[in-house]
Amino acid sequence: MTQFEFDGEKYKQASKHQKEWGRKLISELDLQGDEEILDLGCGDGALTEHIAMLVPKGRVVGIDASEGMIQTAQKLQQPNLSFHRADIHDIAYENQFHVVFSNAALHWIKNHKRLLENTLKALKVGGRTAWNFASKGTCVNFHETVKTVMDLPAYKEFFVGFEWPWYMPDKEEYVSLIETIGFSRWEVRYALPSRRTLCTQPHRAYAPWQCLCRPAVVALGQKTTGALVASH
């Protein structure tokens, strides 16, 4: 299970961008209304619920490793919608879904070979995946800031043994990986006009509870806010 916990209620209030990207991806699915769909890293469940409304004769399952996120998601009630606390690393579905969807979550998964293999198994024949996750270059200024802070004498000790938590490949790397898995067709593309747009304002501090801050916040403990704000 992921080592990071998130506050689903706060995320619900502060995930306008994620919801926009997710809704765009959902609109491209051209759903017929009877599909069975798995949402990996469903977070607060808002997008999962949106999908469920588009497939009234189907069913939608959202999974997330964070207790806080799942608690928020489970407040959403639709007859064809369910949420489970589960780690994406451990999915073991076989031939169950027409679509495996994910938005703004899979950069938390380091082993995409295993993820893609497990996803292929989870799909019914003719099934599809549609994923949007961070690629190389996403929030590059933010990451550089975090790395700078991690290396400062005052904070270095907190990051001994710290494992960088994200996998953000470039397009070529991901194409090379997906070619080895066995999907009959695929397309890998950059979904946003600029992968740098969100995190290029150096005057903006990031709230310690936000998803991208959690790994450093956990490592820093009490020193959190000072460190993250100080370096901006």
**Residues of this chain, 108-167, that bind ligand SAM according to CB under 6 A:** 108-109
Part in contact with ligand SAM (CB under 6 A); list of ranges 105-113, 170-178, 193-201, 220-228: 105-113
Min separation Cβ 18 and ligand SAM, Å: 4
What is the spatial distance between Cα 11 and Cα 104, in angstroms, rounded to a whole number?
A: 12
> Per-residue x/- mask for ligand SAM, residues 23 to 52, rule CB under 6 A?
------------------xxx---x-----
Identified binder of ligand SAM from the candidate list 7, 22, 59, 146, rule CB under 6 A: 22
Identified binder of ligand SAM from the candidate list 7, 35, 49, 64, rule CB under 6 A: 64
Return the ∠ at Cα 20 (arms to 15 and 26), rounded to 5°: 120
The sign of the torsion formed by the CA atoms of 32, 37, 41, 45 equals positive
What is the spatial distance between Cα 114 and Cα 134, in angstroms, rounded to a whole number?
A: 18
What is the spatial distance between Cα 119 and Cα 40, in angstroms, rounded to a whole number?
A: 10
What is the spatial distance between Cα 23 and Cα 83, in angstroms, rounded to a whole number?
A: 19
199 is an interface residue for ligand SAM by CB under 6 A: no
Where helices occur in 16-107 by DSSP H, the ranges are 16-27, 46-54, 67-73
Min separation Cβ 151 and ligand SAM, Å: 25
Kindly tell me which of 14 and 223 has the beta carbon lying closer to ligand SAM: 14
Residues found near ligand SAM in the complex (CB under 6 A): 2, 6, 15, 18-19, 22, 41-43, 47, 64-66, 69, 87-89, 103-105, 108-109, 211
